[in-house]
Structure formats: structure tokens, C-alpha cells
């Protein structure tokens, strides 16, 4: 195995372990999953209540349209708060506790430290997404499933979580205190989501400002449309945020 791989795995294991023993991760998981489960029952109730009317429509919305995707949309809203809280300590916390030099002294480049930490957070987020998905999936034998639409929405959510985590890690690398990192990540994520709000209100649906907005790239996937442009947008954002984080962390060795 190459040093790069073993370094990244070592940092991921360390961060994952720290994440699992921190009460914050468990509290966030418990509260958000309880909220999502309650919303799932409400959505399911609404779906069952309208079943007879929809039976008359030849191409009416199905279970995924009325329960699966709205549930994932709720998860997307919660992610704006959960991901910054989860990422805030990744680097800012190490800096504050004086443990960052221990990682530098292991002789690994900043990029591997950043990637290792990012993958640990990403692992937690994917588990969170999987547990949320388990709710509609529990009914897959009881109703008609539009697998394509669910897969597209899941891909969109996974990309969004990955992008928010990259922003969170980047903000953590720039901040001296975890709370500042969380606040910065929240502001950046909200700004990125709604940067085109003014343009939309003015009736402009194209152009660079709309391309910049995260909502432009997530919403088609929630509707079941996957385009390579949207996927590339998320990948570019992730790479840019992680590169900035690695650059800032590397500067710690020079500046401190």
C-alpha cells in the first residue's frame, strides 16, 4: 500500500473514532432522524389519504414523488445546519487543542490530513443519508417504486452533502475557533444556495449567477434528471474547497 493511502486511512480512522465518541454527533443523528421519521409518517399519511383520487390519474405522482423526494428535501434543509456543526472541529478543534502539530510531525502533507478528515465526516453523512433512505425503502414491497427517480435524488443529496462537508472542512481550516468555523460554513452554504435568488425574482433563469447557485444543480436531480454538468459543478466545488483547506493547513506550518 502506498504511503498516501495509509496516511489518509490513518487520519480517517482517527477522525472517525473521535467523531463517534463525541456526544454532538450522536445528538445530531438522534434529533434529525427523529424529526425525519416524524415527517416521513406525515408524508406517508398524506400519500395514503390521497391514493383514491390519484388512482384516477394515468400519470399521477407516485410514492417516490410524494414521500421519498420530499423526505430527502427535508434532509437537505437539515444538512445546512448539521454539516457545519459536524465539520467545525475537524481542523479548528485540532488547532485550538494544540494537536495539529502531532499530525504534521507524522510527516504527512496537509492534503492527506484534509482528505482523511473529510472522508471521516463524509462517512458519517453517508450513514445519515442511508438511515433516512431506509424509511421509504422499508415500503418498497408495499408500493410501486420509481427506482430511477429515487437514485437521481439520492445522488443529488450525496453530492450536496459532500459539497457542504468540503465547505465545512475548508471553513474549519481557516478558523481559529470551531464555532466560528460552523458560522462561516453556514453562511457560505446559504450564500451558495441562494446566490441567484435576486435573479430568479427578476425572472432570469439562465446566466452565470444561476450557474453559481447550488439550488440550480440540486433541483433537477430531485426531479429525477441527472446531467453531467450538475455532477461536475459539485465535483468542482468539492475539489476547490478541499484544495483551499489543504493550502491553508499547509500555511500553518509556515506561519505558526
Partner 1 sequence: MASIIPDSPKAVLQLERLSRRRAGRPAVQQLSLSLQSGQVMGLLGVNGAGKSTTLSMIAGALRPDSGDIRLNGEDFLEHPELARTQIGWLPERAPVWAELTVDEHLDAHGRLRGLAGATLRQARTAIIERLELQSLTRRLAGVLSQGQRQRLGLACALLHRPALLVLDEPANALDPVQVAALRALIREQAASGTAVILSTHLLAEVTAVCDRVVILHEGSLRHDGAVHADDHAALERTFFGIAMNGSTESARAA
Residues that bind partner 1 (CB under 8 A): 3, 6-7, 9-11, 13-14, 17-18, 21-22, 97-99, 101-109, 253-254, 256
| Shortest Å distance, C-beta 247 to partner 1 | 14
Extract the C-alpha cell encoding 228. 453531467
Residue 138: CB partners within 8 Å, gap ≥ 6?
Answer: none
Give the nearer residue to partner 1 in terms of CB position, either 146 or 252. 252
| Shortest Å distance, C-beta 177 to partner 1 | 16
| Shortest Å distance, C-beta 69 to partner 1 | 37
| Shortest Å distance, C-beta 91 to partner 1 | 13
Give the nearer residue to partner 1 in terms of CB position, either 144 or 255. 255
Give the nearer residue to partner 1 in terms of CB position, either 108 or 159. 108
| Shortest Å distance, C-beta 183 to partner 1 | 23
Give the nearer residue to partner 1 in terms of CB position, either 80 or 104. 104
Give the nearer residue to partner 1 in terms of CB position, either 8 or 242. 8
Amino acid at each position: 500500500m502506498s504511503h498516501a493511502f495509509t496516511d489518509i486511512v490513518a487520519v480517517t480512522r482517527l477522525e472517525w473514532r473521535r467523531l463517534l465518541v463525541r456526544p454532538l454527533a450522536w445528538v445530531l443523528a438522534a434529533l434529525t432522524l427523529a424529526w425525519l421519521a416524524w415527517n416521513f409518517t406525515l408524508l406517508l399519511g398524506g400519500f395514503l389519504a390521497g391514493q383514491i383520487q390519484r388512482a384516477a390519474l394515468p400519470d399521477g405522482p407516485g410514492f417516490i414523488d410524494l414521500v421519498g423526494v420530499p423526505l430527502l428535501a427535508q434532509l437537505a434543509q437539515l444538512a445546512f445546519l448539521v454539516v457545519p456543526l459536524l465539520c467545525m472541529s475537524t481542523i479548528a478543534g485540532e488547532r485550538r487543542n494544540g494537536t495539529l502539530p502531532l499530525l504534521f510531525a507524522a510527516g504527512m502533507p496537509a492534503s492527506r490530513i484534509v482528505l482523511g478528515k473529510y472522508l471521516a465526516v463524509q462517512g458519517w453523512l453517508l450513514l445519515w443519508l442511508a438511515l433516512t433512505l431506509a424509511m421509504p425503502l422499508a415500503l418498497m414491497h408495499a408500493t410501486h417504486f420509481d427506482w430511477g427517480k429515487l437514485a437521481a435524488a439520492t445522488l443529488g443529496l450525496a453530492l450536496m452533502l459532500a459539497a457542504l462537508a468540503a465547505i465545512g472542512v475548508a471553513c474549519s481550516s481557516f478558523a481559529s475557533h470551531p464555532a466560528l468555523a460552523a458560522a462561516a460554513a453556514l453562511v457560505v452554504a446559504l450564500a451558495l444556495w441562494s446566490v441567484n435568488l435576486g435573479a430568479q425574482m427578476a425572472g432570469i433563469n439562465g446566466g452565470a449567477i444561476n450557474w453559481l447557485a447550488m439550488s440550480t444543480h440540486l433541483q433537477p436531480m430531485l426531479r429525477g434528471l441527472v446531467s453531467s454538468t450538475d455532477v461536475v459543478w459539485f465535483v468542482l466545488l468539492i475539489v476547490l474547497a478541499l484544495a483551499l483547506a489543504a493550502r491553508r493547513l499547509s500555511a500553518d506550518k509556515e506561519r505558526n
